[in-house]
Structure 1
Amino acid sequence: MKQLIFVLSLAFFSLWLVFRHYDTYQENEIRLGMSAALSGDLGGLGQSFYQGADAYFKDLNAKGGVHGRTIRLIAKDDQYEPKITLENVEDLIKNEHVFALFGVVGTPTVESILPLVHAYETPLIAPVTGASFLRNPYDPLILNVRKGYHQEIKALLSHLIDEKGFGRIAVFYQNDSFGHGGLHSVKELLKERGMRLVGEGSYKRNTLAVGHAIYELEATHPDAVIMIGAARPVVEFIRRSVTTSLSRATKAIVSFASAQTIMIDLQCVASNLIFSQVVPLPWNEGEALERYRQSMERHYSKASVGFASLEGYLAAQETAQLFASLGPRFSKKAFIKAMATQVSKQRNLKKEESHCGCLEKVYITQYRNEAFEVVSNE
């Protein structure tokens, strides 16, 4: 009997060792998969985020990677269309065998891939969206890096109402899950202040059909318009509203619409614009920002330094640090557990900010004297 127990124990221990061996990540490189608009109207945003992240990973790999492993970012173009995003992510998981998804751009696109994320238990790191459904309820497979849109909108409203004294707030939004989530946050935050939205107007994703929204909002005479959309439709709205009473309203633009793209398209002459950002000014002084700028110069010297590439760089840094914390032998389960630990490290989080991300502030900026400047942050 003792001999049988010994044999069974030995067999169990051997199986445990085999399981541990195959459960531990064995490859010499860590592949991360990204689906984003790399062409079309949103191509600049996707490319910039990719360039910032890739620049960080290239510098890291040149120094030996993480415990001897290199990190490779595989990016696929989805033109900001959820159907293509779904196809890209399925290919990245099944054929490229990525360890995790990283930097998937856009709310409706990320929403479309969540069933795949859960079906294959694939970590989703640093999605480029502030959607509330990625933050509450908490999902152990998702690690957000940027602040949520709820916090961005809260900071914009604080600036518009508390600092500027505006009382009439309207919303221009993209008519999908991205815009609907932002619209809900505006209404909720205004309700907390005993205020109501004076008007709302929308446009269809990947179009410039903003005329009806302008017509709807002009009649409401807002002091400010919260703009929850992509850069090109936002620019179209601003251009076409110049000849209307909306020209006097402050346009408060959520970070997903690239501030740099907007100012370039408007030839830097538009006034009454403010932008929420989830990273500090990329041109500021500081060792970390200097490293980012030097990295971009080494690997993407023709690209412009900016908010999106800085976000990609910082997200890549956060991801690499997470892998480094695990040591040379780790499993996917261990990585997912470490993601949860990373979330728990967030400091001074309010209830609505739970599971928000590692970048701790929202910066309200404006473009003046040929440069962006921070007018408030929280």
Structure 2
Amino acid sequence: MNWTARGLRACTVLWLTLTVGSALHAQTIRLGQSADQSGPVAALTREYNSGIALYLDGVNRRGGVHGRKIELLKLDDGYAPDRAKANVAQLIADPAVVGLLGVLGTGVNMAVSPLIEAAGIPSVGPLSGSPDFREMPGTHAYHVRASYGDEVRAMIRHLSNSGVTQIAAVYMDNAFGQSALKHFEAAMRERQLTAVAAVPIGGPDFKGEAAVAALAKAGPGAVILLTAGKASVNFLKAAVAGNFKPMFLGLSVISVDELHQAIGSEVRGLIVAQVVPSPASGKFGIVREFQQAVAEAGTPMASHVALEGYIAAKVMVEGLRRSPPAITRDSLAQALDGISRLDLGGYSIAYSPASRLGSQFVDLSMVRADGSYAQ
């Protein structure tokens, strides 16, 4: 076979490969995600993604959107901003990926935001309530949850109204924790209160003993945990071991399932801020829908974080449905901007070209000894 024949055959194979690949992509709507699957907040990712999968699987069983199934490409960043930047760059380089869903972490989201803006790709349901992230310039992050500032204000208001004013905080010594600390301090000033202590817990291992010792010296009546993942677990394990027993309150990104596995019934009494309704309540239409989907899937899934993932996926699908059938990044962004008010069943989302901050819903729950919640 001469060179021309070989070259013709190679070109034919390449053309067939590209054609088949394009045809396969045309049959699906591709979304991307960078999140921690192996690091300190991997349990949070699993909970959030369980809710995303629950909703997307249901949509796909019913034929997808515009006759196409939805595919979520999930890349592990280990909660490391540099790895997340590489992941997002890889996802953006794929022209078939029309949006991002559930990018997890404050530091991660702040690191990848310039890439997202440069590519003009919508990022729905970023799992960070950081006001610093939400205030970054840009137009392509479509928030679903309330901010950590909203959560902290609700916790401090509850404590102040209950007569507890000796309040301290422990915070992760990273972008997430430092941002949350700033808004903790602002919320304390709003109530004309001064923290008795604010103690960091450092990575990469986030050991809790030193933080517990420092806070025990300050003698607070309540400690607000501006932590997530292993930092929360290690801190509360150290508190139990050191018999340090003030009132503990945590942000919505705490994984109570992970805590219950680590400290058992000692999780009793922990108060957790929630940015979605209780998944055990039948009061909200969105919860009843979630409960039915869980029953149909046959998998126990009662966490607030899973419900939040379910809602984020629902918002993304609403944007996809409002887009023309030939969905592009631009058409998806325009469709999302057109959601002036979306009532998901007692939980509302509103976007516009000027605001994409989602909901301000915050509730407080208390954890029982068995790891379940009491409102």
Q: Which aligned pairs between 1:31-110 and structure 2 lie closer than 5 A?
A: 31-95=30-94, 97-110=96-109
CA displacement at 1:77 relative to structure 2? 1.5
**CA RMSD across the alignment:** 2.6
The equivalences for 1:172-183 within 5 A come to 172-183=170-181
Residue 92 of structure 1: how far off its partner (Å): 1.4
- Structure-2 change in CA distance of 1:138 and 1:90 (3 Å): closer
TM-score relative to the length of structure 2: 0.83
Checking the alignment, whether the CA contact within 8 Å between 1:38 and 1:79 is kept in structure 2 is: yes
After superposition, residues 1-378 of structure 1 pair within 5 angstroms as 27-95=26-94, 97-137=96-136, 139-162=138-161, 164-242=162-240, 244=242, 246-247=244-245, 249-285=246-282, 288-296=286-294, 298-299=296-297, 301=298, 304-329=301-326, 331-342=328-339, 355-358=356-359, 360-368=360-368, 370=370, 372-375=372-375
After TM superposition, the structure 1 stretch with the greater mean CA deviation from structure 2, 238-247 or 62-71, is: 238-247
Shift of 1:214: 1.9
Number of equivalenced pairs: 342
Preserved CA contact (<8 Å) 1:138 1:355? no
What is the rounded CA distance, in whole Å, between the counterparts of 1:148 and 1:275 in structure 2? 14
**Cα distance change of structure 1 residues 344 and 204 upon mapping to structure 2, 3 Å threshold:** farther
C-alpha distance 369-225 of structure 1, shift in aligned 2 (>3 A): closer
Unaligned runs of 5+ in 2: 1-24
In the TM superposition, residue 329 of structure 1 has moved relative to its aligned partner by: 4.9
Aligned-residue identity in percent: 26
In the TM superposition, what is the alpha-carbon distance from 1:63 to its structure 2 partner? 1.4
TM-score (norm 1): 0.82
Rounded to whole Å, the distance in 1 between the matches of 2:293 and 2:329 is 29
Equivalent residue number for residue 18 of structure 1: none
C-alpha contact 2:208 2:236 (8 A) present in aligned 1: no
Distance, in Å, in 2 between the alignment partners of 1:356 and 1:234 is 27
Distance 2:204 2:339 in 1: 35
Partners in 2 of 1:267 and 1:180 — Cα distance?
29
Distance 2:40 2:340 in 1: 33
Gaps of 5+ in 1: 1-25
Give the conservation status (yes or no) of the 8 Å contact 1:282–1:307: yes
Runs of 4+ in 1 over 6 A off after TM superposition: 343-349
